[in-house]
Structures are given as structure tokens and as C-alpha cells.
Amino acid sequence: MAIEAIAVDIDGTITDDKRKICISAIEALRKAEDAGIPTIIVTGNVVNYAYAAEVLIGCSGGLVAENGGVVFKEGENNNAVETMVERDFVTSAENHLKEKLGEKFDKHASHDNMYRLTETVFYKTIPREELEDALKDFEYLDQLEIYDSGFALHITDKRVNKGTSLRYLCERNGINMENVMAIGDSQNDEDFLREVGYKIAVGNADDKLKEISTYTCENLFGDGVAEAIEKFALQ
């Protein structure tokens, strides 16, 4: 069956390990767009960063940001950003961590948390185990998920993820998930790869992501994205 849309992660997928975007990925995504296959950006980044990437690359399918917490597509929802979940549990967790971690909270918290609508993020300068330990006695721990994006640690609400929000966006636009190709590299990409028909891991992807993928690229980062698009979308 023909691919109807491409859903692609940003960091570690279309960018390299220094977060520099790969030209080969941009060129391949633009070829797909020219062939009538829209690209959907699916990322743990904040919505303004994701939107800038979408515009600069030339993607037309919309975006999922904050690991599923936020959805946006021009021309829909009166051009307003949609938050897919209330921030109540995450805000409570943030306050709990401020009390438990003290000065460490501000030292390791991401500088872009002020822009995040649904999650709280920490740089990987703090061990995941330390965050998990600090949250052990949190009242609503069972409502949270901690994702390692490879670049940061994201504390999110379990009610949404990249997969649920990608499905929401695709169904609203009449796109069959079985005909979507999803491309990712890390733990927080597993949810949206599981939702689609074409599951692609770039060559540098986590082993667990490779295990659930239908195809693992020989090439790394954006070169892997270009490889997958040429192989499956532009035949």
C-alpha cells in the first residue's frame, strides 16, 4: 500500500548527535512533500521549536510536540495550539520535585520549561534514577511517565503520548495509520512507531526501538531518514 504520510522525530533522527539538522533528510522530506506525501513532525520539543522546524523544512502535515501533550496544524482548530491533556499531575510532580531536590531542581531543569504546556523536562546532567527516587512517594506517581529522549528526561502525563496524539491528528485528516511511516531513534519514539504500519528505526536508534521496527536503516540520523524515504515512499 502507498504511504499516505511520514511521521518523523527531530532530535537524533533528522538531526545528528550535536542537534545539527542533516541536509539529506531535508532534501528527502521535501521530495516526499513534492510527491504529495505530507510530513508530520513528532517530537518531545516545545511547540514553537517544532513549528519552526516544520516551516523551515517545508512540512505540511502538522505536528505533535511535548511527547504528545500538544498538537498543531495550520488551518485547523482556528489555528490554535491544542493541549491534549491538563497539566495538573505534572504541575504537582514539579512542585514535589522542587521540594525534594532543592537547588538541584533549578540546576538541572531545562531552560525551556517556561514554554512547555504539558510536561517538565530535565537535562541529562541529573541521573534518571535520582528523579525516580525523588518521585517514589509522589501521590500521583502512577499518572506519570518519564521518557529519555536521548537528549533530556521528560516527565509527562500517562494519558497522552506521541502515539495517541499522532493518531488523533491523522484520523482528523483522514489518514489511515496503517499507511503512515514513522521514523525515530529513542525511547520516547516507541509509542508512535507502534501505532503505524511502517515502523522505521534510524541506524543510531536504541536497541529496543530497533526490535519493534519493521525496518532498521543502515545509515545514521538524517541519512537514515533519507534512506527510508527513498526506499519506501518514493518508489
**What pLDDT was estimated at residue 1?**
64
pLDDT tens per residue, range 100-117: 999 999 999 999 999 999
pLDDT tens per residue, range 55-101: 999 999 999 999 999 999 999 999 999 999 999 999 999 999 999 99
Q: Which of 143, 8, 171, 10 is nearest to 85 (CA)?
A: 143
pTM: 0.95
**CA–CA separation, 76 and 57 (whole Å):** 20
Could you tell me the three cell numbers for 167? 493518531
CB contact at 8 A, 187 and 205: no
CB contact at 8 A, 196 and 189: no
* Catalytic residue positions, numbered: 9
DSSP-based helix, strand, coil % in the chain, nearest 5: 45, 20, 35
**DSSP 8-state code for residue 64:** E
- Which residue's entry shows cell 520549561? 113
Looking at residue 148, its amino acid is D
pLDDT tens per residue, range 115-170: 999 999 999 999 999 999 999 999 999 999 999 988 899 999 999 999 999 999 99
Give every CB contact of residue 112 below 8 A, 6+ residues apart in sequence: 46, 49, 121
Bridge partners of residue 121, in order along the sequence: 154
Handedness of CA 31, 34, 36, 40 (dihedral sign): positive
**What pLDDT was estimated at residue 150?**
86
Could you tell me the three cell numbers for 184? 525515530
